[in-house]
Structure 1
């Protein structure tokens, strides 16, 4: 069954990845857009905590986790987002439905392999400005595109308590920003289209460790380090008026990402409860490109802090389904690294969710809820109040079993 589901999603992937508009945030104008990937649905429901060595859920943030898999695991997730964008003078609402990730994990003895695709960031907004003495001029700024990530990871279990892993990511995408200006007194307007084709490779290395400190209690830890890397941006500019369109080649740019380290730790009782925390630190980046450079915009160090956990009333209950549900919750604070008019663009959110077992299998459906705030009203900027509903499937089965009978 899982093989048919995987094949079906693969057929739909190319359409969904490129057709979706993953962001409506005006802040997605800067850099590579609004970074959307925050982990799987089950991890996001706990504020981003994914520290336990899980055998049936894929951890997409630490490649060492692949060595824990006991069954072939397929995971896919998507989000419905609604955002209210506010300034001191106005308020607008936007809605988006997006595919967040799709991955497959294979257990290979002490090794584990994971691969998949993640729509990593999105650019998407439309801003219209009407001005002039008689309001005869209109300027419309529209953007589309983003960056996708294809990854391949390998984990190895050195001891029953300690794993290491590495993954390689190929990042690619196209970002297009169109500026259309019209005048009621002129028949034809002017359209300027800036296009950036992005590509690059980066590497992550990780480790996970767990040990018992009593008969029931265990402690967990996770470290993931992303090496500094670059994205190559090939830029072009097309200017169209009533005359012949003119294509102007723009200088290619290098978008640089600083190294990033993620540290997680937790304590709990396996298949019962877990409480954990996570800290992320990233060096300053240089995300400026030909279309989004501004003297009022800089990029600083980024990072986040989060806490979260889960509780299962009775994992082995056969008579009461509600006792087998996983209840999750968490809190996160994120500094995006984007600074506009000396104001840091921060993100604060509360999360919760449930994991619903699929009877008769090791598979489950995960539902997550998140409410939060991004940005600020200070200095004439935009504050985004958002609510997300995420749904993820974690499907598990045995593959490559040797037949006992022909």
Structure 2
């Protein structure tokens, strides 16, 4: 059983990783550096991506660096994940289906002392994969319209280092340093009356960001937590080519011209969370996060960045009646999340809501688990040229936990 689960999960994850360039496909990734990417570890996708107050006693908790202070001694943890997403896009009477396979993350963590732990993780931060055809848009301060056709790819990657330290038995604090890097490539065609303008560009980004976190155990069953993601400036530069076609005459305006562009600003994000365990092996998690996008003073040609509120709720349950029985050691999970969106297009928010369920399957004779989750969600709306996304997502995370530097007692 143990070997079968390991072989099956490794095969699926390697298959998903091979499709890592076919990352999230969404028309809303047209904005900024693309759609922000969810890449939560272990069982977190099953509980609505909540869990800021959970300690890293059995898994790597990427939501709060303070959780690393609870890593058990001599344990080395490794987590890798992938996703399969089926999305239906609706706009008026038009419907389109797309499927994507995505690499989610790769991370490892280990204790430094009995009161501290360290982790390293690589994951996508954003995805700018989109394809838009003949979108009718108004010309500013005019009664006229133009038509946009756009194709894009790329996004930003997040390589972070995290450290958590525990002060006594109840309080822990942590810090993460993230290196953000990557590029986006897109080609946009603007048709105004009988003139077609084509702009092809590649934009490179790089920058640093810090996250602070804390956890406090009120008692053995109740923990509160908070995180602060500091604002950051992501440097940007581009290489661009422009040409126009009018009356069947092609004119090259510029070719591979390098220049600086407006930097991308990441907002101050403040989060709070709780974790409550009940007597019947039921655990509840709840997170709230506020992202102050208004303070970045950013805007897009097609929309504006606005402050975002995010709510996440999750439950896990395991019977543990008989630890020798495999099915009694399985953990069941469910959750939901909602955010009102950080984009506003034509005065309308691009909100997102999702529900999820999942299982944490232990791998026999180890501390490792295979985590499977399914979620259904909706993003956007059908009105005034906006697009509604209905998506089904299956996440697969393999969490390996090995014991190092311990002498064998029996040969």
TM-score (norm 2): 0.84
Q: 1:49 maps to which residue? A: 50
2:105 pairs with 1:101: yes
2:242 pairs with 1:228: no
Q: 1:376 maps to which residue? A: 381
Q: 2:340 maps to which residue? A: 335
What SS class does the counterpart of residue 253 from structure 1 fall into?
coil
Counterparts of residues 207-246 of structure 1 (less than 5 Å): 207-212=214-219, 218-239=221-242, 246=255
Query: What do residues 240-296 of structure 1 show as CA deviations (whole Å, max 9, x unaligned)?
Result: 68787712334422111221111101211489220121100111257898xx831x4
Q: 1:134 maps to which residue? A: none
Are the equivalent residues in 1 in contact too, given 2:135–2:385 (CA < 8 A)? no
2:408 pairs with 1:393: no
Are the equivalent residues in 2 in contact too, given 1:21–1:122 (CA < 8 A)? no
Cα 1:266/1:370, change in 2 over 3 Å: same
Deviation at 1:141, TM superposition (A): 1.7
- Structure 1 runs (4+) greater than 4 angstroms displaced: 15-19, 240-245, 285-289, 402-405
Specify every segment of 5 or more residues in structure 2 that has no aligned partner in the other structure, as ranges: 137-146, 245-249
2:125 pairs with 1:120: yes
Are the equivalent residues in 2 in contact too, given 1:22–1:122 (CA < 8 A)? yes
Cα 1:211/1:383, change in 2 over 3 Å: same
What SS class does the counterpart of residue 45 from structure 1 fall into?
helix
CA distance in 1, matches of 2:166, 2:280: 21
Deviation at 1:316, TM superposition (A): 4.8
Specify every segment of 5 or more residues in structure 1 that has no aligned partner in the other structure, as ranges: 132-137
Counterparts of residues 263-342 of structure 1 (less than 5 Å): 263-269=272-278, 272-285=281-294, 293-294=300-301, 296-314=302-320, 316-319=322-325, 321-342=326-347
CA distance in 2, matches of 1:270, 1:149: 38
TM-score (norm 1): 0.85
2:111 pairs with 1:111: no
Q: 1:259 maps to which residue? A: 268
Aligned residues: 381
Query: What do residues 7-43 of structure 1 show as CA deviations (whole Å, max 9, x unaligned)?
Result: xx9xx99x94895121211000001111122522411
Q: 1:196 maps to which residue? A: 203
Are the equivalent residues in 1 in contact too, given 2:237–2:258 (CA < 8 A)? no
What SS class does the counterpart of residue 185 from structure 2 fall into?
strand
What SS class does the counterpart of residue 60 from structure 2 fall into?
coil
CA distance in 2, matches of 1:18, 1:198: 23
Cα 1:107/1:41, change in 2 over 3 Å: closer
CA distance in 2, matches of 1:139, 1:269: 54
Q: 2:144 maps to which residue? A: none
Pairing partner for 2:60 from 34, 40, 58: 58
